[in-house]
């Protein structure tokens, strides 16, 4: 009877090697998720930068047009 209880405890729990693989897999998945969040945030920042740069270029061109228009 004790043997059955010991067997249930052993087979009910993952081995140390399996637990390490699960932990490594979990770490890998967490690292991939963190990398995905980084890439998504970088794309968002690049988009915001391009939008702001476009606004600045438009303002610059408008100011140049005004300067050239005043000289004529």
pLDDT, average across residues 8-12: 58
pLDDT of residue 58 exceeding 70, the answer is yes
DSSP code at position 13: S
H/E segment holding residue 60: helix 16-71
Torsion, Cα 58 60 65 66, to 10 degrees, reads: 120
- Name the pTM for this structure: 0.58
pLDDT, average across residues 46-61: 97
Domain that holds residue 62: 2-71
pLDDT, average across residues 20-39: 85
Provide the domain count of the chain: 1
């Amino acid at each position: 009877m004790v043997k059955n209880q010991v067997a249930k405890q052993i087979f009910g729990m993952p081995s140390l090697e399996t637990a390490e693989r699960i932990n490594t897999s979990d770490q890998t998945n967490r690292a991939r998720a963190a990398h995905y969040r980084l890439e998504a945030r970088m794309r968002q920042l690049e988009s915001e930068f391009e939008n702001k740069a476009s606004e600045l270029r438009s303002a610059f061109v408008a100011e140049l047009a005004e300067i050239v228009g005043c000289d004529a």
